[in-house]
Chains A and B, each alone.
Chain A
Amino acid sequence: MTNADRSPSPDLLRLDGLHITVHHGAAAAVRGVSLTVQPGEIVGLVGESGSGKTLTCRAALGVLPAGCAIEQGTVSFGGQDVTRLPRRGWERLHGSEIGAVFQDPASYLNPSLTVGSQLAEVLRVKRGASRRAARQRAIELFGTVGLHRPEWVYQQIPAELSGGMLQRVMIAIAICGDPRLLVADEATTALDVTIQAEVIEMLLQLRERRELAVLFVSHDLAVVGQLCDRIAVFYSGEIVESGPAQEIVDRPRHPYTQALLRVASVGEFGRRQLEVIAGQPPQVGADISGCRFADRCPAVVLACRAAAPAPVAVGDQHEARCLRAVELLPELVAR
Chain B
Amino acid sequence: MSEIRSSIAAIALACVSAMAFAQGSAGDPLAVGRQMLAEDNPGELWVDRGKMLFYQKRGPKNASLEKCDFGLGPGKLEGAFAQLPRFFADTDKVQDVESRLVTCMVELQGLNHEEIVRNRFSTLDRTSEVEALATFVASRSNGMKMDVRLSNHQEREMYKAGEYIFHRRNGPTDFACITCHGDDGKRIRLQDLPNMKDPKQMQAVVSGWPAYLGTKSTVLTMQSRLYECVWQMRLPDLGYVSDMSIALTTYLNYQGNGAVIRVPGVRR
Q: Are A and B a genuine interacting pair, yes or no? A: no
A binding-site residues for B, Cβ under 8 Å: none
B binding-site residues for A, Cβ under 8 Å: none
